[in-house]
Amino acid sequence: MKYNLEVLLKDNTNFTAFLHTKIKAFNDEKSNHHKDARKEGAVQPISIIVSNDINRWIGGITAEVYWNWLELNDFWFDETYRGDGLGSTLLEKVEAIAKQKGAEKAMVTTFEFQAKTFYELKGYQVVGAVEDYPPGSCYYTMVKTLS
């Protein structure tokens, strides 16, 4: 069998799209869960936007519900609004919405310098850690059972 190797040291969007398409097709063939998640409406987005008194965005949270899981994607708000329970309020609200949508568990990834301690206080447990990523820190996957 003959083949050629080509090394690229820059982005090639066509090749990236080709690989993503092939991986999705493979996953769909091997996992009904993956296939079902690609159906219209299967992934249920949640966005909670926090604005200040002049209607300027100061933060919020984005997440998705699928496979009976809540996956937290982005969660941030301006430092001047931190420390007064706003983060807890947002997390509780997104978890409650997710439970209404059928989520039984929640997952988030975070770096050591971000919000690991916050999530632990909210009942999330570390199920995976990548040490020294980035160098001198750690990257965590955390989960929680929503009750």
Backbone angles phi, psi at 63, to 5 degrees: -155, 170
The pLDDT value recorded for residue 37 is 87
Q: Which residues, 6 or more positions from 38, have their beta carbon under 8 angstroms from its beta carbon?
A: 24, 28
- pLDDT digits 0-9 by tens, 59-105: 999 999 999 999 999 999 999 999 999 999 999 999 999 999 999 99
Looking at the chain, the whole-number percentage of residues with pLDDT higher than 90 is 94
d(CA 63, CA 112): 20
The pLDDT value recorded for residue 96 is 98
d(CA 70, CA 72): 6
The CATH number linked to 84 is 3.40.630.30
The pLDDT value recorded for residue 75 is 97
Q: Is residue 95 part of a domain?
A: yes
Query: What is the domain extent for residue 102?
Result: 43-145
Q: Is residue 131 part of a domain?
A: yes
Q: Is residue 29 part of a domain?
A: no
What's the full length of the chain, in residues? Answer: 147
The pLDDT value recorded for residue 106 is 98
Q: Is residue 128 part of a domain?
A: yes
Total count of domains within the chain = 1
- pLDDT digits 0-9 by tens, 1-27: 999 999 999 999 999 999 999 999 999
> At residue 147, does pLDDT exceed 90?
no
- pLDDT digits 0-9 by tens, 20-57: 999 999 999 999 999 888 889 899 999 999 999 999 99
Q: Is residue 65 part of a domain?
A: yes
Q: Is residue 98 part of a domain?
A: yes
The pLDDT value recorded for residue 146 is 98
User: Average of pLDDT values for 121-126?
Assistant: 98
